[in-house]
Structure 1
Amino acid sequence: MSAHDHRSTPSWQWPESVWRGHVDAVRTGRGLLPPSWPDGARAAVALSFDSDHETIPLRDGETSPGLLAQGEYGARKGAGRVLELLERYGAPATFFMPAVSALLHPDEARRYVHEGHEVGVHGWIHERNTLLGAEDEQTLILRALETLSDITGRTPTGIRTPSWDFSGSTLQTVLDLGFLYDSSLMADDEPYEVLANGTATGLVEIPVDWIRDDAPYFTMDRFGALRPYTRPRDVLEIWKDEFDAAYREGGVFQLTLHPHVIGHRSRLVILRELLDHIGGHRDVWFATHDQLARAAREQLARPAAPTPGTAPATDTPPTSPTERP
């Protein structure tokens, strides 16, 4: 059965080679959690903001002024409020920005870099990668990379696919374009190396999750069933618990927010209170995703840790059963 034939066949009829091939295509490799953080910090905090703005409706061909205005709020109000808050806490962050969003708001994109933050690739117009052919996907990511480089004067080192939509060709495109890291997958709490069909790629993954994203809690669709279902302060409690667990384990607390979502007054309150909570721990390293990826990638030069439950390798051959006492 070819890769194309199986799509019209129920999954319970797939031979093992098909379902195993899908599972193994993009997989977790070595864990890349450093043994220590810079300046003796106990945990790392990686804040990120997806500055989608008007690209969400534009992606779907929606040109309603009402929908575009909802996205414009992120540029007009949300982004500035976020930047002022980050400055107050001295916290660098990563802003993943669709290229069309940067073209609409070039001064905003440049301000991110000017104020010490990172700008990462987030697609061309927040397209859905799984609906694209491999060539179109690569063309759009390359165009986005070049556009952000031209506008900000900095070449992005990381990518977050729009909507965390990862197609069968996304990984190869990311590798071909030389990105240091990706932040679109959800296979761990901590950074790890991505495997392609069992082969180590050297690509660092900074994993995300819907739990640590503001959109699922607060997004509103006027004509659909999508309605905000969680009080902002309940979300604050979830995020505090996520940070506290990362802190206890000496790991990473990664958060994904959107200026047009979190930037509203009643929601910005919980981001401020979250940063107050994190700031109450003196030994925390605030890092951009690029900084975190570089710290994680250093682990690739270290000997791989043995798999749990296996004995470390030695130069002495194992004793045969007849030679054991």
Structure 2
Amino acid sequence: MKLLVVGATGTLGRQIARRALDEGHQVRCLVRNLRKAAFLKEWGAELVKGDLCQPDTLPPALKDIEAIIDAATARATDTLNIREIDWDGKVSLIQAAVAADIQRYIFFSILNAEQFPNVPLMDIKHCTEKFLAESGLNYTILRPCGFMQGLIGQYAIPILDNRVVWVTGESTPIAYMDTIDIAKFAVRALELPQTEQKTFPVVGTRAWSADEIVNLCERLSGQNAKISRVPMGVLRTIRRIAGWLQWGRNVADRLAFAEVLASGKPLDASMEETYKSFEFDPKEVTTVEAYLQEYFTRIMKKLKEIGYEREKQKQKKKQQSFFK
């Protein structure tokens, strides 16, 4: 199948592109910066320059395309805000897909998006779900809630570097899933009629609180974490201040997500129907324990190797200075 991956340079999008290529699909990627997306071309994908916020660039990108996997979303560092990318841009893409008679549209939303109308990203994702469902396209909506890849920067690296791990005062458990596994669901949806016109949660084997993740990282690394808890009141104040500044509005919208984390409602769901519909064995899903164990095993081995090489260099220098 010839498909267009949108958001292919992101954490999830690159795994989707890789998986689709590995399964023999012809993959085209809509990218804003061809240089930054060069690795996708090396993998075998076709690159086409375009932007969700420039509707006239979308029809050429959709020429001869049969399916779209849409994993794009605004980043905190983007100059445009969430509404411009995740709503205006997605509406343009869906309308262009209708005009191009696209056969399948796979969209990534967020779990429980409808429960948080006051959180911009959640509200926009929910509105996009409804817009897509009413578009007439043959869609599948996938709703993850957290990527395991994010645990490395938020927890693992600070603990290894003996830096502070920042967590909110309140901690909502999150069922993290490896983006490699999420990509499998997205690509598999293209070939399974039973996934059409439906919405599915795509979450990990269990929900983890911040404290549980910290404890696991401490055990696997053999190091103690320095934890600093940020009260929700402080985050709300920062959000209000950022919202007053033109450059800070996207950051403010992202900070609003802290309200989800402070809700006390676990970001988790039953995967029984998802596994059945996608003909997926739950045993194939990576667990948080296995993911972090692999990371720490690999990084600790690397650190030991670096330490060994440094010691060799020191000994070599001592020997050289001795004979001078």
- Relative contact order higher in (CA < 8 Å, ≥ 6 apart): 1
**TM surpasses 0.5:** no
TM-score normalized with structure 2 length? 0.30
TM-score normalized with structure 1 length? 0.30
